[in-house]
Amino acid sequence: MTATGSDLFVQINNAVIDLQASQYQTFERPLKTLARLLHHPDLEAANNTLTEGVDLQVFLESQKPRGGVVGGGLTWPEAPEQTLGLTLLLIDRFAQDPNFMLQFGHTYFYSGRKIIGDIHAVTGQMIIPFVRDYRTYVMSQGNIRPKLVKPVSNKIFIVHGHDGETREMVARFIEKIGFEAVILHERPNKGRTIITKFREEAADIGFAVVLMTPDDQGGKTGDAAGALRARARQNVVFELGFFIGVLGPERVAALVRGDIERPSDFDGVVYISLENSSWKSDLGKELQAAGYSIDWNKVMGA
């Protein structure tokens, strides 16, 4: 086992732990994180081998659920590799359609408790054994060496517009709970152009907090002046898209002040209202979901 492979599976295991500890309102995020990690580029060869010739729909149609029996009706193939392939496809399907996971859990892993009990049953009885066996399979393949998935960095990038008061408030909160707030204009220029400085300072960032404050106005060409809507600055929207591409939407949170127009193409980004008194705890939850260790005493006291 390589050190980098170990790091990847530590993060996969952490996603499973978060899923097992989740509630109905929060299970989608660790589920999607798990699916994303399982499709790391260096796992592609193993995944292709495991899913070759495996038909998830045929498998599901062949099952005969027996109501009230945990796991009742699921008949897995005798070949372990086919079972791994089917479970991998199921996790993909769950991530694409979380409602399907709810239905699947109720049908085959009914716990007799709340809906989240069925989710936890699927996780404990199907996903956890899968991750264990999948790791053994992957690491036994001599030509597969998963690389390091970017570790959680202590640095959190603050994307901001003209609202200096909001920028300082959020940056100081980030620092009070134990992280380093990175604000571009506070970093030395070192003779770098703006875009070079931005790229280099963002290179080892683990999470981005984007402050969407009503600094600009805009609308469609030809709209009357009264139809213009408040917007974040263009550099803020650009950097929002940049960090979504680099970190993934699960590592980006947008803090919104006022009734501003939100970009329509950035699905999966969490928008947190700064008008809501719970914005600090909401941001803390997003950081925790992204793998950060949060001291909730500091969050409540900040």
Write the CATH number for 278.
3.40.50.2300
Rounded CA-CA distance 62/56 in Å is: 10
Do the Cβ atoms of 212 and 255 come closer than 8 Å? yes
Do the Cβ atoms of 205 and 153 come closer than 8 Å? yes
Q: Mean pLDDT, to the nearest integer, of 64-83?
A: 70
Of 137, 157, 159, whose CA–CA distance to 205 is shortest? 157
Whole-number pLDDT of residue 33:
92
Rounded CA-CA distance 257/259 in Å is: 7
Q: Given pLDDT bands bounded at 50, 70 and 90, which one contains residue 4?
A: very low
Q: Given pLDDT bands bounded at 50, 70 and 90, which one contains residue 126?
A: very high
| Domain around 53 | 3-140
Whether residue 107 is predicted with pLDDT greater than 90 in this model: the reply is no
| First-residue to last-residue Cα distance in the chain | 42
292 three-state secondary structure: coil
Whole-number pLDDT of residue 3:
36
Whole-number pLDDT of residue 279:
94
Q: Mean pLDDT, to the nearest integer, of 7-13?
A: 81
Whole-number pLDDT of residue 51:
95
Per-residue model confidence as pLDDT tens digits over 279-297: 999 999 989 888 888 899 9
Rounded CA-CA distance 261/214 in Å is: 9
> Do residues 61 and 101 share a domain?
yes
Do the Cβ atoms of 283 and 240 come closer than 8 Å? no
Per-residue model confidence as pLDDT tens digits over 241-285: 888 877 888 888 999 988 887 776 565 677 899 998 899 999 999
Residue where a domain terminates, one of 112, 140, 168: 140
> Do residues 121 and 170 share a domain?
no
Q: Is residue 9 part of a domain?
A: yes
Measured CA distances, 300 to 23, 157, 274, 283 (Å): 21, 22, 16, 12
Q: Is residue 150 part of a domain?
A: no
Whole-number pLDDT of residue 179:
93
Rounded CA-CA distance 153/280 in Å is: 20
> Do residues 8 and 133 share a domain?
yes
Whether residue 148 is predicted with pLDDT greater than 50 in this model: the reply is no
User: What's the mean pLDDT when you consider all of the chain?
Assistant: 83
Rounded CA-CA distance 192/211 in Å is: 24
Residue where a domain terminates, one of 90, 105, 140: 140
> Do residues 9 and 70 share a domain?
yes
Q: Which ranges of the chain would DSSP assign to H, the alpha helix?
A: 3-20, 28-38, 44-51, 56-61, 80-96, 98-108, 115-122, 128-140, 164-176, 194-201, 234-247, 279-289, 296-301
Per-residue model confidence as pLDDT tens digits over 14-37: 888 888 888 888 899 899 999 999
Of 33, 45, 20, 31, whose CA–CA distance to 116 is shortest? 20
How many domains does the chain divide into? 2
Whether residue 97 is predicted with pLDDT greater than 60 in this model: the reply is yes
Whole-number pLDDT of residue 47:
93
Per-residue model confidence as pLDDT tens digits over 221-237: 766 666 777 888 888 88
Q: What percent of the chain has pLDDT over 70?
A: 86
291 three-state secondary structure: coil
Q: What are the residues facing 212 on neighbouring strands?
A: 256
